[in-house]
Structures are given as C-alpha cells and as structure tokens.
Structure 1
C-alpha cells in the first residue's frame, strides 16, 4: 500500500496543467526549435520569440500571463529591412555579462540588443559565392559558448564563432569551424563550472553527424559521432550529457566526453522538431510533428557510471504540429509550446 501511495505521489508530481495561452501577432513557421524563451527572474517576466516568415514575434509576459507587451522584428541586411529574406531561427544567447538576441536568415546573421530588440549591434552577411549554385544559402543553429563567444551554423556546414565584447558593437568573427559537410541544424552548449571539463559544445547537421568541441580561444574538436539514420534536428547538453533528436522520432543520449551512446528511446511517432533541458533538474523536453510533448528525466547511475533516461510526462497538444518547445524556468516547472500555423504560445505549469 505504501509503495502504491509513493507511486501516486510521484505521478502527481510529474503532472502539468494547461495555462492561458499567449496570443502572438502572426503564426509560427514550420522551423526546428521555433521558440526561444528568456526568463527574467528578478522582474518576474518571461520573453518569448517565435519566427513567422521574415518576422520575429517577440512577447514580454508577466508571471501570470496577464500583462503582455508585443513587438515584431524584421529581417534586415545591414540597417535595411529585407522583405524577401526568410528568418530561419531566433534565439536568446545569455553570456556572463550581457544577453543578446540573435536572428539567422537567408541573407545573414543579425545580433540585437537585450530585451526590447530595438537596436541591431552587428550584421554578418553570408557569402553565396562559397555555396554551390543549386544549394540554398542560410544560417541556422545558434548557441552561446563558454565565456564570450556566440556560435552560428550555416547551410555550407561551417560554424561561425563570434567574439562578443562586454559592451558595444565591436563584435568580430574569431574562428570558423569546418568539420561538417552538410547544413548545420542545431548547436548546443553548457557552462562548465570546472574549466577542465572535457566538452562544452556540440554541433549537429542534416546528415545526423554530431561534432563535440571544447570551446576557448582555440576551439578543439574532441570527437565526431557518425550519422544515425537521418537528420539530427535538435541537440542539447547537460552535465556532460548530449541529448540528440532525430527525424525518425528517436532520441539518443551520449556521453559528451567519449561520444559513446548510452541510451536510445523511440520518443515520438513522427519527426522531432525541438528539444530542451532544464539545467537545474535534468528534465528533458521533446516536441514533435505527432502533436505530443514528452518530458524525460536524465541522470547518471553512480554505480555503473551510465547515463539513464526515464519518461515522466506526456502531453498531447491537440491539432498542433509542434515546431517549438521550451522550459520557462531552470527547474523545468513550466514549459511552452508553439505549433505550425498557430498564432499562440501554449503554456503548461507543473501542479
């Protein structure tokens, strides 16, 4: 009886309830990881960004979701708006000393100032001459790396590393990583408290290849994980663990230090579009075309030193082809979801 009671408590603790949705000005495009969330804990605010065509919907929401502020950002080339340039991703990058919003598009990479997105501080044009004529040109995959770097992927497989100053606009292209042969799909990193940690950055591409890096003044390639049955659409890092999602609906879990696969789960019936990890709890969130959001728990078994993944919650988002899913706080007590052609951000909170 006591075991049954404990099981019920555990199941109840893992449940989430739907909150009031946040309406946005235009619907979400069918892009990988088409939702970025920035919690501002000291102000009890959360910033959301969702891409639609050549526009980014940006919403500032209070904790109860009642007070909202909307803004729309346009794709630009330098200081000029480009109506035909489709945005491929928008993501907040939290560096130790500043937070920047980075947008990628078919024309290049633009970096915005912090919360209001009103000032563009840097523009980097993509060189179409380096790409074969029949291949599309775009940037995709954004992550803040250890220290003062922001990494952005491109359709040619290059990863551009930008050196970000403490303040101002003097952003420089510090390095170009050229290990991938296919378009970059996603980039993930983690902040290592221990500077001797083996790996802190992972890049993924359309063929499913993962490259694991140690960031710094000279980025070092530590391992290359072979392609696995198709595109790796989204990737995340946590506590020396890499979680990678694939078009097959599967999630694979790797040890970042060795590149060894430790677990594989058939997470979804269709293509996975988004992954996220709550850094303070190890919760893993996945969202896919099958309209389901799944929540998992990552951890290491101290006896065997193996990485384990356990399913803890499932949520069906009715009639939604999920294109973005993110936790809204470091513990994973709340999450938000976007879906293709939906003009809302759907929120859930743990009960």
Structure 2
C-alpha cells in the first residue's frame, strides 16, 4: 500500500507530454532532483526525502535560428558510469548540462534541411548506455554522443538510421540486469501494457492496465516493479516475476492510485526499490509524491 505524502509545488503545471517527469536520487547528499517540462522551459527542483522543497529554477531552450522560443520536448538525467548529465531536447536542438543544471557543457543544433514543410523538427527520447548518450529525432535517426569522463569535449560519434517514423522514446540496457531480466515494457493508446523479450521481440504478457491511453511507464529493475500511469487518472504498480519451471513472466497487481480530475503526464519511481513514486499532471501545479506504508 502507498499513501500520499507532501507534494512539491511547481511554478506552472506540466505540459501535456508523455513521460513528463524525470527523477534523480542522490542518496549521498540526501536529495532528490525532479525535472518537469512546461512549454519553452524546464523546471528543476531539489527536495529533501520528506518532500521539503529546497531549490527551484528554470532552464530555457537555446533558441538558435527562429523567431519564436522553441518548445522543450523532454528533460532527463543520464547516469553514466563516471558522471551524471542533464539532457534537454527541443524543436531546435539538444542541450547537455552538469547534473545541477547550472553549467551547459554541450549544444547540438538540429539540421532541418531535409524536412518537408509539413514535418515538425524535434529531438525526443533520451537514454544513457555506457559512456554514450543516445537521443532520438524527428527523422527516425538516433544521435549517439560520446561523453568524456569530465569536461565539455562531447562528440557526436554516429547517427543510427533504420527507423522510418519519428522517435519519441528510447530505452537502453547498458548491462545485464538494467532492465528487469531482459524484459521491455511498452504502453499503448488503448490502455494496454505489453511485456516483450528484449533480445527476440517476443510478446510475453498483455495487461489490460488502463481505461484510456497510457502516458508514463517506469521500472524498478532491482525488484521487478512496473509503474504505469494513464489518462484515466490512475497509477498502477505491478510486480513482475518469472516462473522457475516454465520461464514465463507472471504479473501481480500490487497497488492502484487515483489522482482525481487530473490528466496525468508523468510518473516515476523515486528510488530503485520502488518504495516511492511521484506523478505530474496537466494543469496541476505540484508534483504529488507517494510512499509505501
């Protein structure tokens, strides 16, 4: 069971974007960072474990060429083996900061030269793998950046092609066990969650999880807990396990939470053990936190 803890106030509500919440836990400093996208800016907050807000600031997208401020499409902390970077994507480019968001270390402008007049140019989908950060784009390409142990000497090492449609999210498995036993979870507009084998793409489980479209998924890989949030105002937590005899994936529903009258936008576990989570919602000027009883 989970209970509603102290909420963290925002200066504005979250934009209506899927997975619009990023969380970085810093146990050594007894802090948790939260990142939320709101139009042309990203709100960064730090809070103590009990939810007391300690600091809040805004990041804006680098404008580049254009007459109007670019809209931010995602903000995400990338945990690398040797450093943590905050990555911000928009319709104009990709910005990388040190983890606190104060020092920009890299800016990559998007090339819209081959875009048709009806295509929206953007970057979205951010993930870390080893010493690389991967970012998806409107063209279907994945940009792979080589990150040094320190400093701003970041290099675009390659562009991966092969997708015919725009990329909006990326998941990586940098090492064995980073995803739960090699299982990928996918959420759909019909409210279903599908669990796939990462190496083969075989479908293991289909869950009728929500009455409306799913807007966020997160996985606490240490314990096999899956979090799903939908436009039906519900957040659900599922426990995954593998049958030792058959090897099949089994799913148990652990908890359901209704955030009344709220179009949910983002939901994330706040710790690797899945004992707490947070949600954002459109026109909701706070981050709501829940912890296990």
Describe how 1:130-149 pairs up with structure 2 within 5 A: 130-145=114-129, 147-149=130-132
**CA separation in 2, counterparts of 1:106 and 1:254?**
31
Aligned counterpart, 1:341 = 283
Count of aligned positions: 293
Matches within 5 A, 1:11-22: 15-22=1-8
Q: What does residue 120 of structure 1 align with?
A: 104
Match of 1:84 in 2: 69
Write out per-residue CA displacement over residues 168-220 of structure 1, whole angstroms, 9 at most, x where no aligned residue.
111111121112111112101233148xxxxx8xxxxxxxxxxxxxxxxxxxx
**Aligned 8 A contact 1:36 1:50 in 2:** yes
Please give the alpha-carbon distance, in whole angstroms, between the structure 1 residues aligned to 2:17 and 2:118: 21
Equivalent residues of 2:180, 2:222 under 8 A apart = no
Counterpart check, 1:159 vs 2:142: yes
Check conservation: 1:190, 1:238, Cα contact below 8 A.
Answer: no
Where does the alignment leave 5 or more consecutive residues of structure 1 unmatched?
Answer: 1-14, 195-199, 201-236
- Tell me, which stretches of 5 or more residues in structure 2 are unaligned? none
Structure 1 contact 101–114 (Cα < 8 Å) conserved: yes
Are the equivalent residues in 2 in contact too, given 1:75–1:82 (CA < 8 A)?
Answer: no
Aligned to 2:272: 330
Q: Which residue of 2 aligns with 1:33?
A: 19
* Distance across 1 between alignment mates of 2:82 and 2:114: 34
Match of 1:186, SS state, is: coil
Aligned-partner Cα distance in 2 for 1:148–1:193: 16
- The CA deviation at 1:164 is 0.5
Give the aligned partner of residue 113 of structure 2: 129
Kindly provide the CA deviation profile for residues 132-166 of structure 1, in whole angstroms up to 9, marking residues without a partner as x.
Answer: 22110001100001x10001001111111111010
Moved over 3 A (4+): 80-83
Higher relative contact order (CA 8 A, sep 6+): 2
Which position in structure 2 is the counterpart of 1:97? 82
Q: Which of residues 231, 243, 250 in structure 1 aligns to 2:192?
A: 250
2:262 to 320, 337, 350: 320
8 Å contact from structure 1 (residues 48, 58) kept in 2 = yes
Out of 282, 285, 293, the residue aligned to residue 227 of structure 2 is 285
Q: Counterparts of 1:48 and 1:67 in 2: how far apart (Å)?
A: 10
- TM-score normalised by structure 1 residue count: 0.81
Distance 1:120 1:336, change over 3 A: same
Residues 152 and 161, structure 1, Cα contact 8 Å, conserved in 2:
yes
Q: Distance in 2 between matches of 1:268 and 1:35?
A: 20
